[in-house]
Chain A
Amino acid sequence: METKPRLLQILDVVTAVLFAVAVGMVFFYAPMERTMGQVQRVFYFHVATAWVGMLGFLVAAVVGVLYLVRKERRWDIVGLAAIEISLVFFFITIVSGSIWARPSWGTWWTWDPRLTTATIVELVYAAYLMLRSGIEDPDRRARFGAVYAILGFISVPLTFASIRLLRTIHPVVIGGGNASAEGEFSMTPKMLQTFLFSLLVFSLLFVDLLWHRIRLGQLADKVEQLRLKMVQ
């Protein structure tokens, strides 16, 4: 377990190279947006980090179901790993969005439906980490984590749909316009290519980080088992 698998080593290198290409495309390939200027370039990684966030919360909910059905600890380790990574990426989404909002909306923050629901998602999953750290029994902790990840996931589609169903100033770049949105723009082919490539690279980055975080979880599990054995 402690020697890094060959496939993970390859994945690390491929992800790093593609990430560098994505950064290059954002800064040198995608054209500057005419109205917002350079800050629009934040959009590519802002959406990509939100995608990774939502993907991880989905993975956690799915493995939560698997844990409840099969009672195998490995699903708890995967769920925790996915939620931790998603929390980090969703935090980036919220902060980078706030930085984009300042010149576009004239404010760092507004309690718009999208921003509010995204904040709720972040707080729901931050509470997951805090609450599970307070449970000592590993089986109870895993059961609690699985149920919480499934219930917590309700907040994710609500956030995704908030800009499509509610009156909001947040732009809807994919899937149609929003009459009340501020800062909307149409993507040129180069912008679209950069955007799609960023999504692909961040998906790969998620898989890579998830693998690393799962290995960390397995090692933490081994240490916990050794500690419990010493106490007995």
Chain B
Amino acid sequence: METLETTNYMIAGYTVIFGVMLVYLISLFVRWRNLKQDAALLQELEDKEP
């Protein structure tokens, strides 16, 4: 049986696999950074309260 030419599908598959994983990693990083800023700000406000 002849081998199918499916290289483009493989590239598309791995683009999705690596792309989605990368987006998730970035989302983890961004959420961590934002929460750290929020925590610092709230802590500062709490410390200022009489």
A70 sits at the interface (CB 8 A): no
Q: Knowing A2-B36, A212-B28, A216-B28 touch, does A38 contact B16 (C-beta < 8 A)?
A: no
Question: B17 and A49: CB pair below 8 A?
Answer: yes
CB distance from A219 to the nearest CB of B (A): 5
How does the 8 Å CB contact mask read for B1-36 relative to A, with 1 for contact and 0 for none? 101111101101110110011001000100110011
**Chain B interface secondary structure, helix, strand, loop or mixed?**
helix
Chain B residues in 8 Å Cβ range of A212: 28
Question: B9 and A100: CB pair below 8 A?
Answer: yes
Chain B residues in 8 Å Cβ range of A2: 36
In the complex, number of A-B residue pairs with CB atoms less than 8 Å apart: 92
Interface residue tally on A, bucketed by range: 35 or more
Chain A residues in 8 Å Cβ range of B43: 226
B: number of interface residues (CB 8 Å): 27
A8 sits at the interface (CB 8 A): no
Chain B residues in 8 Å Cβ range of A223: 35, 38-39, 42
Question: B5 and A220: CB pair below 8 A?
Answer: no
Question: B7 and A38: CB pair below 8 A?
Answer: yes
A to B CB contacts below 8 Å, 29 in the list: A2-B36, A34-B3, A35-B1, A37-B7, A38-B7, A38-B9, A38-B10, A39-B4, A39-B7, A39-B13, A41-B10, A42-B9, A42-B13, A42-B14, A45-B17, A88-B24, A92-B16, A92-B21, A95-B20, A99-B16, A100-B13, A102-B9, A103-B4, A213-B28, A219-B32, A223-B42, A226-B42, A226-B43, A230-B45
Q: A42-B10, A95-B16, A99-B13 are in contact. List 9 more A-B contacts (CB 8 A).
A: A2-B36, A35-B3, A37-B4, A38-B9, A38-B10, A39-B7, A92-B16, A92-B20, A103-B4
